[in-house]
Structures are given as C-alpha cells and as structure tokens.
C-alpha cells in the first residue's frame, strides 16, 4: 500500500509542473496590460512603463517564467497588484469559504444522487426511473449561474425563506476559529450553548450548496444507476435472492458495495470540479470565497492573484484525485497489485 501511494505521489510532480507552466503562459499571453488597467486609460506612457518595470513585465517572457518558477518553488505566489497584499495570505483568507461550500454541496449531491440512482435501478423502466433520469438530465443541462438566480428569485425574493447572499447574518459578530463557519458555530454551540451562529451559517448555506451541487447530483445519480444495474445482473445477487436474504440487505449490503468503484471516482472528480464551478455560484450569491475573489482578480488583470488562485485550485484538484486513487485501491486491492 505504501509503495502504491509513493508511486502515485511521484506522478504529482510532473502534473503540477505542467499546470504551473500552463497557468503562467495562458495568463502572460492574454490580451490586456495590467499596468494600463491599474493606472487607467488616461495614464501617461511614463507612468505605465514605470509600473511595468516595478512588476517585472518589461523583462523577456522566458525570464519572467524563470523568476516565476523560483517563487513558486519557494511557495511564494507574489503580491496582488490590486491590493498589494501577499497572494498566499488572501487565498488563506478566502479558501475556507470555498472549501466549506464545496463540502456541503458534495454532501447534498452524494446522498441524494446515490439514493436516486439506487431507486432508479431497483425500479428499472418504471415511471420513477424515467422521472428520476429525466430530472437528472435537466440538472446536468442547467447552467449553475442561471439556477442560482432562479433560486434567489423564488426562495429569497418571492418567498423570503433564505437570504440572497453572504455567509452569515450581519447582526452576528464572532471571531472565526477554523474559517469553516458551520464547524465554528458547532464549536461555539458546545462551548457556550449559543446556537445562533451555526443556525445562521446553515441558513445561508442552503441555496448556494444546492445550486452548486445540482450538476454533480445528476451525474452521480446516473452513474449509480448504471453501476447498480450492472451489479444486479450478476449471478451472486441472484444467488443471494434465491437464498431468501431480505431485498434491502441484498441491495445495500451486496449490490451497492460492489457498485461503489465508479461512484467513488465520480464523486472525487466532481468535488474537484466544484472548486472551479464555485466561481459562478460565489459571484451570484456574494459568497466571500476563492471563486469570487478570483473573479475580481480576473476583472482587474491581477496576474499574480489569478495565477496563484488557479494554481491552488489545480493543486487541490490533483490531490483530490490522489485521494480517490487511494480509496479506489482500498475498495479494490487488485488495483494495487496491477
């Protein structure tokens, strides 16, 4: 097992190097001059050239790339052109909000998606099956930002059930402990018995998490159905049924357990994709996470911030894939041997 993990870790280095290289050249070759954007269109040429020199943009592209690699190796993502703060510090402040949103969206999509997929497989070719898969197809087809706007219009504006955005009611003030507001609220609840923080955090979490989790929910449901149908046709399932074992136990003890491999893979990939998909969701719901921060960085041509944000998201995605591979090998030891 350890040998397998080390082998997978060794593959991370070229992958991350490729990501870092692509990020640099895609941002560097993008149209627009960050110095001109910062100073405005009316700035004179001398001021623009001075700022370009301070930012190192007047150097050859390969020289900029070499200096960039040296900084990244030292875990130095540079300073934001817009705010002047270290990019690593800004990411540290915004990343917990994105992680928390992605976790809750994934919890929602996994539980509901597996339930719908299993139910559709059991009720194959019934109205439940057709209805569930049609709903899943609609879920995959809907853009996240459009669904988020629909949720706000219905549940926030019309019904006034949920807030339109933010992570916490502005009337509440507390010092974050972990940066994950639901977890912080739970800690405060155990310490002082005050439930207002966790209730407010969960109240603000509902609409963004459901909007963000809709697409992975639909994908997980379809994969679960396909995997379950394949397993349910196996001989050992027929043998278990003929032996008089209860249907519920056959489904969840034998069939679902053996259908988990492709489901685990999809869950891992979708969780990584949620981090990038959160950009649109966070922007619509004014969620102060890495996605919204990255959106504003792109708007202002803040090269160091954009590069740092994409690198962090890409690295997280690669690490999640590593965890999925390890879980895959735990569920199916034959993978390690091969």
Number of domains within the chain: 2
- If asked whether residues 69 and 93 sit together in one domain, one would say no
- If asked whether residues 162 and 233 sit together in one domain, one would say yes
Predicted confidence band of residue 128 (pLDDT cuts 50, 70, 90): confident
Is residue 2 domain-resident?
A: no
Is residue 196 domain-resident?
A: yes
* Last-in-domain residue among 26, 41, 73: 73
Is residue 81 domain-resident?
A: no
- If asked whether residues 219 and 296 sit together in one domain, one would say yes
- If asked whether residues 69 and 184 sit together in one domain, one would say no
Find the mean pLDDT for residues 65-73. 84
Is residue 84 domain-resident?
A: no
What is d(CA 105, CA 281) in angstroms, rounded to the nearest whole number? Answer: 11
Cβ pair 280, 144 in contact under 8 A: yes
Q: Supply the pTM of this predicted model.
A: 0.82
Find the mean pLDDT for residues 84-109. 89
Is residue 79 domain-resident?
A: no
- If asked whether residues 136 and 225 sit together in one domain, one would say yes
- If asked whether residues 47 and 167 sit together in one domain, one would say no
In which domain, by residue range, is 35 found?
8-73
- If asked whether residues 123 and 258 sit together in one domain, one would say yes
SS (H, E, C) the chain: CHHHHHHHHHCHHHHHHHHHHHHHHHHHCCCCCHHHHHHCCCCCHHHHHHHHHHHCCCCCHHHHHHHHHHHHHCCCCCECCCCCCEHHHHHHHHHHHHHHHHHHHHHHHHHHHHHHHHHHHHCCCCHHHHHHHHHHHHHHHCCHHHHHHHHHHHHHHHCCCCCCCCCCCCCCCCCCCCCCHHHHHHHHHHHHCCCHHHHHHHHHHHHHHHHHHHHHHHHHHHHHHHHHHHHHCCHHHHHHHHCCCCHHHHHHHHHHHHCHHHHHHHHHHHHHHHHHHHHHHHHHCCCCCHHHHHHHHHHCCCHHHHHHHHHHHHHHHHHHHHHHHHHHHHHCCHHHHC
- If asked whether residues 235 and 175 sit together in one domain, one would say yes
- If asked whether residues 17 and 134 sit together in one domain, one would say no
- If asked whether residues 239 and 295 sit together in one domain, one would say yes
CATH assignment at residue 288: 1.10.3720.10
- If asked whether residues 32 and 168 sit together in one domain, one would say no
pLDDT single digits (tens) 252-296: 777 887 888 788 888 877 887 787 667 888 888 988 888 888 888
Predicted confidence band of residue 203 (pLDDT cuts 50, 70, 90): very high
**Which tokens belong to 266?**
């999809």
* Last-in-domain residue among 73, 98, 115: 73
Question: Which tops the pLDDT comparison, 20 or 111?
Answer: 111
Q: What is the CA radius of gyration of the chain?
A: 24
- If asked whether residues 237 and 169 sit together in one domain, one would say yes
* Last-in-domain residue among 20, 48, 73: 73
What is d(CA 72, CA 77) in angstroms, rounded to the nearest whole number? Answer: 6
């Amino acid at each position: 097992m350890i040998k397998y993990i080390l082998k997978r870790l060794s593959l991370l280095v070229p992958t991350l190097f490729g990501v870092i290289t692509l990020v640099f050249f895609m941002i560097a070759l993008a149209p627009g001059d960050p110095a001109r954007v910062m100073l405005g269109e009316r700035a004179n040429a001398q001021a623009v050239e001075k700022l370009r020199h301070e930012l190192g943009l007047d150097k050859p592209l390969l020289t900029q790339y070499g200096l960039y690699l040296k900084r990244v190796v030292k875990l130095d993502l540079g300073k934001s052109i817009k705010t002047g703060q270290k990019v690593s510090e800004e990411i540290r402040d915004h990343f917990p909000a994105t992680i928390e949103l992605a976790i809750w969206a994934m919890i929602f999509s996994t539980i509901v998606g597996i339930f719908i997929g299993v139910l559709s497989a059991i009720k194959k070719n019934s109205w439940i099956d057709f209805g569930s898969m049609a709903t899943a197809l609609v879920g995959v087809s809907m853009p996240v930002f459009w669904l988020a706007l629909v949720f706000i219009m219905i549940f926030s504006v019309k019904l006034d059930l949920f807030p339109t955005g933010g992570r916490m009611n502005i009337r509440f003030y507390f010092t974050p402990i972990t940066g994950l507001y639901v977890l912080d609220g739970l800690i405060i609840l155990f310490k002082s018995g005050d439930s207002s923080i966790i209730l407010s955090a969960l109240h603000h979490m509902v609409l963004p998490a459901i909007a963000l989790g809709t697409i992975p929910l639909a994908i997980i449901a379809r994969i679960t159905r396909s995997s379950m149908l394949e397993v349910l046709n196996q001989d050992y399932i027929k043998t278990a049924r003929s032996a008089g074992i209860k249907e519920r136990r056959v489904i969840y003890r034998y069939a679902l357990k053996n259908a988990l491999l492709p489901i685990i893979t999809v869950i891992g990939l979708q969780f990584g994709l949620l981090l990038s998909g959160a950009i649109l969701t966070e922007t619509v719901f004014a969620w102060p996470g890495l996605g919204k921060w990255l959106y504003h960085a792109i708007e202002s041509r803040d090269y160091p911030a954009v590069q740092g944000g994409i690198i962090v998201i890409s690295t997280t995605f690669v690490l999640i894939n590593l965890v999925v591979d390890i879980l895959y090998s735990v569920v199916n030891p034959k993978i390690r041997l091969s």
